[in-house]
A and B are shown apart, each in its own frame.
Chain A
Amino acid sequence: MTAIAPLSLSPTFAPSRRKRWSFTFAFSVIGTAVAIGFVIAMVALFAWQTVPVLQHSGSGYLTANNWHYRHELFGALSMIYGTVAVSVVAVAIAAPVGIGAAIFTSEFLPPRVRVVVKIIIELLAGIPSVVYGLIGILYLRNFVYDSFETFDLLSGDTLLTAGILLAVMILPTVMTLSDDALRGVPALQRQAARGLGLSRFGAMLHIALPQARVGLLAAVLLALGRALGEAIAVFLVVGRQDNHMPANVFSLRALLEPGQTLTSKLGGAEVNIAYGDPLHWAAIVGLGLMLLLIAGLVTIVGAWLETRGSSPSMYSGRGIKGEGRSANDSTLQLTALHKEPSPPTPSLSTRRGRIRRHRFIEGSTVTAFAFCTTIACGLMLVLIAAIFYRGGSALSWRFFTEQIRLVGADGGIFFNIVGTLILIFTALVVCTPIAMALALMQGVYFRKRAAQRLGIVLYLLNGTPSILFGLFGLIVFVKFFGWGKSWLSGGILLGIMMLPTVTVALIERIKVLPRKYIEASRGLGLSTSQTIWSVIVPQSRSGLVTGSLLGLARAAGETAPIMFTATIFAGAMFPHGITESPVLSLPYHIFVLAQDSFDPRVAEKLWGTAAALLLIVLLLSLIALPMRLRTHEEAAGA
């Protein structure tokens, strides 16, 4: 007889006492070990390689404001400042807009429209960083340059420019995750509030928002992690001036000057120059380590906040709690009823005649939220318009089926498309099992404390700048394994990069599964593993799809992880084998051409490539559309 497992309060539950080492459990353990092992390996490798510069510069490495590699001076203070400043600006803009838009979308829009908005926003995430960088160069920096003319800017390349660009880039993350957090609040809770007479706005403000606040914080933190780690786009618009600390850190002026961030340095030429010079290389890798540590700090703060402010994870309206106490209740009740006279009505004077309605405030707040949504969607449309305006004329059947000619001035991008598809498909194959393993470990097997610790690992992975994956891959795959440039390295790195996105989406889905399904399954006598495969996995499919799409969209446009390890500019076609088998790719093609193309015909092709990349992402979204619409119908009906 299987012992009935006790149901605990958290969404995890203890495995059956008769614990065989089920395949599922082993699978989850291995997957989680791979993910954790990767993080540890990365931190250890970078730490080990950083030693020379610490010996050389001591604490000055962090506190001194002088970075001159030719003179062997390595003080990174201005870069630390730059990273913090740019990320703070980005989150300060993206969080309110994103959360406001998410509130409007999830609480005030009908389900069908809501899905459309979500798709539009996800497309925003699919625009590669290098394209954001180009748009930044062409439009944003001029906008900043002209708008702040009174401040007499040096040029349009400033910390503020980078911050604004980053804000747009992380907006989808904030919005999508906030929307998920809000959706995670059970509909019954809202219904109960509405039943009492609260308006839709009131139910949102007093029920949905407070109960979703942990998820909202998570959304902001994940977005912050993304902002901290963005290299290419920041690289192109921040100015890249070393050793520039503002006189007054808290003034607007400080943001209007060019600067350098940790990531923009890592995305620059010094990395290649440093390769081979132990001291310089140590200094560069140390910057990467710093980034990891900052991301880790953000994570730990987030985890602490989560434990402090967490509401009990099981909302009432869903499950049956322990029955044991009711016997005592009823005796008390009966005696109470017999003894008590009818309670007196509170006198009329304590009751205000009319219900206080702040219709104007409510209305204008909702309008503000609607405005945020409009900004978000509008941005999307404007960016798409810009890309297709500049590159639309290049799109043709020839463009997709021919290969590059005349160094990008003619011909098409066939093998670039092939290469990108190979990379993202490999990434998906690598990512999915590990993400499932992590999600199961987090959502099913682990108890609360261990689950929190695993969450930290995920955040850490998410905050790891993509450029560091590239560095790691360079050291491990290219050199140590001796693979040279290989599509497999790129696929593996991209897959691990996608992990946090996919895993978090899966975990959220597992968490909101109605407990009745799990209880029914366990009640029938199914073991944990069987429950997982017959109940949890099928039900969380939509989470896998959503997460994978977001992840793939990002992966498809990433340049940094693949440029050292998997892709070259010209000459590769279909890969043969694993070693010395690079591929062409779309984002890297854009990146190289954007830097050094002389022929004016290239410009059009470049934007055409960006358009092609966008089309791939659009296609991915459309494929999953029916599944997502269905899930939303189910959720809306609750």
Chain B
Amino acid sequence: MLEIVREPSCCATPETITPAVLETRDLGVSIGGRAILRNVNLSIRPRQVFGIIGPSGAGKSTLLKCINRLIDLTPHAQVTGEVLFNQQSILSQSIHPDDLRARIGMLFQQPVVFPKSTYHNVIFGVKRLGLVARKDLPAAAEAALREAALWDEVKDRLHESALKLSVGQQQRLCLARSLAMQPEVILMDEPTSALDPRSTEAIEQLMTRLKERHTIVLVTHNIPQARRVCDWLACVCMNDGVGEVAETACCDQMLDNPCCQAVVEYLKAAP
């Protein structure tokens, strides 16, 4: 039995006593009858980078997908418990999942770029959902690309195929695409694991800058990365083959002074 989460007093600062933008209460997920996650209780404050670490297969990506209800696309997936976004339950029918996903952006491990031009990739979401007037699309595209620190590299080849960009650029393009939607929350599922160190560094720097205006939930395997970027961490570990949140703490606290045994083991093994 794992010890349950607690918040060490050292991490409590006045700024953190703000209403959580995302909360999960007793969240459990099973796919095809097999339990993947259970008893997940998280509280994510706005405008920070919230990291989720843990061993492979623990269910971190699944947890992420619950937040924007992308889990609905997985066949035979069943979700129990509650997820609250701005104190509103998203699992009930009051918010349509499509609308939810428009407000919560997601970045995948592999950059999923559409086979179109860079420009059309960036504006894809806002254009199709009618969020921006047609005449303002170029401006919105530029703003998003600047925010993702990609503008200078692509401004001369906006209408070339996005597949010609390097992987690092593609990932930032995906980020720009999400940013154009002006999401409150951005979910990132190991966004740099497919990238080389330099691109990784670039994206990490972006994250630090983005958290001024967005909340970022980051799943990562990379402990040094977590140390560099994250404010808070949750560690998801396997208990009897089912993922559970072993510990939540502010970043330095968890990495230097973990409380839970499972986390200790994990950190020992991790680089």
Contacts and interface: CB of A to CB of B under 8 A. Distances in A.
- Determine whether A and B are in direct contact in the complex, meaning some CB atoms lie less than 8 angstroms apart: yes
Interface of A: 110-111, 188-189, 191-199, 202, 206-207, 211, 311-312, 314-318, 320-323, 325-327, 329-330, 332-334, 336-337, 340, 342-346, 350-352, 355-357, 636-637
Contact of A312 (B139, B161, B169): B161
Given A197-B98, A334-B202, A321 B166 contact: yes
Given A316-B162, A334-B201, 9 more contacts: A191-B73, A198-B98, A312-B161, A323-B196, A325-B166, A332-B152, A337-B202, A342-B209, A636-B75
B142 to A, nearest CB: 8
20 contacts: A193-B114, A194-B73, A195-B105, A195-B106, A196-B125, A202-B98, A207-B114, A316-B115, A317-B108, A321-B166, A329-B169, A336-B151, A337-B149, A340-B146, A342-B147, A343-B146, A346-B136, A351-B131, A355-B102, A356-B129
A330 B102 CA distance: 30
Interface stretch (B46-54, B174-182, B216-224): B174-182
A343 B168 contact: no
B113 A317 contact: yes
A61 to B, nearest CB: 47
Interface in B112-143: 112-115, 124-125, 128-133, 136, 139-140, 143
A283 to B, nearest CB: 50
B99 A196 contact: no
Contacts of A198: 98, 125, 128-129
Contacts of B110: 188, 316-318
What 9 A-B pairs come out closest when comparing CB atoms? A197-B102, A356-B130, A330-B198, A196-B125, A343-B146, A317-B112, A192-B112, A333-B202, A316-B113
Contact of A316 (B101, B112, B152, B212): B112
Contacts of A197: 98-103, 125, 129, 181
A329 B75 contact: no
Contacts of B153: 329, 332-333, 336
A111 B177 contact: no
Given A332-B152, A342-B209, A356-B129, A191 B70 contact: yes
A539 B220 CA distance: 32
B187 to A, nearest CB: 9
A327 B201 CA distance: 12
Contact of B108 (A192, A202, A327, A332): A192
Contacts of A189: 112, 114
B139 A346 contact: yes
A352 B132 contact: yes
Most buried by B among A322, A336, A355, A357: A355
A330 B168 contact: yes
Contact of B198 (A317, A327, A343): A327
Interface of B: 68, 70, 73-75, 98-103, 105-106, 108, 110-115, 124-125, 128-133, 136, 139-140, 143, 146-147, 149, 151-153, 161-163, 166-170, 174, 177-178, 181-182, 194-196, 198-199, 201-202, 205-206, 209, 212-213
Contacts of B129: 196-198, 202, 355-357
Contacts of A352: 130-133
Contacts of A206: 124, 128
A535 B11 CA distance: 53
A312 B168 CA distance: 19
Max chain B Cβ within 10 angstroms of own Cβ: one of A195, A333, A356: A195
Contacts of A323: 166-167, 196
A336 B99 CA distance: 33
Contact of A192 (B140, B174, B198): B174
A621 B168 CA distance: 46
Contact of A329 (B103, B111, B112, B168): B168
B38 to A, nearest CB: 22
Contacts of B108: 188, 191-192, 195, 317
B98 A199 contact: yes
A342 B68 CA distance: 27
Nearest to A327: B198
A350 B163 contact: no
Contacts of A191: 70, 73, 108, 112
B163 A196 contact: no
A343 B170 CA distance: 20
Contacts of A110: 75
A196 B132 contact: no
A322 B165 CA distance: 10
B75 A637 contact: yes
Given A189-B112, A326-B167, A196 B202 contact: no
A332 B213 CA distance: 24
Given A196-B181, A321-B166, A350-B140, A188 B147 contact: no
B194 A320 contact: yes
A496 B113 CA distance: 41
B132 A350 contact: yes
A480 B78 CA distance: 67
Nearest to B152: A336
A519 to B, nearest CB: 14
A529 B156 CA distance: 44
A315 B162 CA distance: 11
A213 to B, nearest CB: 11
A192 B139 CA distance: 23
B115 A195 contact: no
A333 B166 CA distance: 13
- In this complex, which of A196, A327, A350, A356 has the most chain B Cβ atoms within 10 angstroms of its Cβ? A196
Contacts of A346: 132, 136, 139-140, 143
B101 A196 contact: yes
A329 B201 CA distance: 11
Given A320-B194, A350-B132, A350-B140, A337 B102 contact: no
A344 B177 CA distance: 17
A345 B143 contact: yes
Nearest to B153: A332
Given A197-B125, A355-B129, A192 B114 contact: yes
A312 B163 contact: yes
A317 B153 CA distance: 21
Contacts of A329: 153, 166, 168-169, 198-199, 202
A192 B169 CA distance: 17
Contacts of B113: 316-317
A196 B124 contact: yes
A196 B161 CA distance: 20
Contacts of A318: 110
A224 B195 CA distance: 46
Contacts of B168: 326, 329-330, 333
Contact of B209 (A315, A316, A337): A337
A134 to B, nearest CB: 42
A90 B65 CA distance: 45
A188 B108 CA distance: 9
A191 to B, nearest CB: 6
A351 B134 CA distance: 10
B133 A314 contact: no
Contacts of B213: 345
Given A202-B128, A355-B130, A636-B75, A343 B143 contact: yes
A193 B167 CA distance: 19
A345 B142 CA distance: 11
B111 A317 contact: yes
A43 to B, nearest CB: 37
A198 B127 CA distance: 11
Which of B98, B110, B133, B199 gathers the greatest number of chain A CB atoms within 10 Å?
Answer: B98
Contacts of B128: 196, 198, 202, 206
A330 B212 contact: no
A344 B143 contact: yes
